[in-house]
């Protein structure tokens, strides 16, 4: 199946490993040029090299933390300078710590919301001008199965990711007439380091 991504430019956050890396790799396999970001520069550049070698596509690597607005400004300024366009945005960030109601603090909710919800909002706002220049765009948020049914002992993740659903449903209603769609991916259990760490904590 041809998804029409040949020659498109995609940005995937948190793409040095896990589901972010898998998304970036598949987009490149479909013919898109891919930009990726992550906090750890060494693993980020290693991931970019692997994607580039396997697919032959152009891959840009921008180190940065999606919870840091200065980092996001630098990433999207570089993206604009390098490619002058963005067709696909995949928002993705690590999950907050596990914990139940009595085990977490209000400050941890703020951190979780900043990590998951606020970072998504920030990336979308920086992406829209680039998509609107060409009248076409795809906004994709990687969330969690917990947005459908909260998962025990993940109250921070359950809370912070639910806001992404409301945000993206609003975007879908708002941006569709501009040729920009907004969709969420709500993955279940995959063997990522995040899942392994959670299973160990539950055990």
* Residue ranges in the chain whose pLDDT is less than 50: none
Query: Alpha-carbon distance 158 to 122, whole Å?
Result: 20
pLDDT of the residue at 2: 79
CB 167 within 8 A of CB 91: no
Which CATH number describes the domain made up of 9-202? 3.40.50.720
pLDDT of residue 118: 98
Report pLDDT for 195: 59
Q: How far is the C-alpha of 90 from the C-alpha of 84, rounded, in Å?
A: 18
Q: What is the pTM of this model?
A: 0.91
Instruction: Report d(CA 22, CA 109) in Å as an integer.
Output: 28
HSE of 48, CA atoms in CB hemisphere, 13 A: 22
Q: Where are the domains of the chain?
A: 9-202
The pLDDT value recorded for residue 158 is 95
């Amino acid at each position: 199946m041809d998804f029409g991504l040949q020659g498109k430019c995609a940005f995937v956050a948190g793409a040095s490993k896990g589901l972010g890396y898998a998304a970036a790799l598949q987009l490149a396999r479909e013919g898109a040029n891919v930009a990726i970001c992550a906090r750890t520069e060494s693993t980020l550049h290693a991931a970019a090299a692997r994607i580039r070698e396997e697919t032959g596509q152009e891959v840009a690597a921008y180190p940065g933390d999606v919870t840091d607005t200065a980092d996001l400004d630098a990433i999207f300024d570089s993206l604009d300078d390098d490619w002058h366009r963005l067709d696909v945005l995949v928002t993705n960030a690590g999950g907050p710590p596990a914990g139940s109601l009595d085990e977490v603090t209000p400050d941890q909710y703020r951190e979780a919301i900043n990590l998951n919800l606020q970072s998504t909002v920030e990336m979308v706002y920086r992406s829209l001008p680039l998509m609107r220049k060409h009248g076409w765009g795809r906004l994709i948020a990687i969330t969690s199965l917990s947005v459908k049914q909260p998962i025990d002992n993940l109250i921070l993740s359950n809370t912070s990711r639910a806001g992404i659903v409301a945000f993206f449903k609003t975007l879908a209603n708002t941006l569709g007439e501009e040729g920009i769609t907004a969709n969420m991916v709500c993955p279940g259990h995959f063997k990522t380091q995040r899942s392994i760490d959670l299973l160990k904590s539950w055990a």
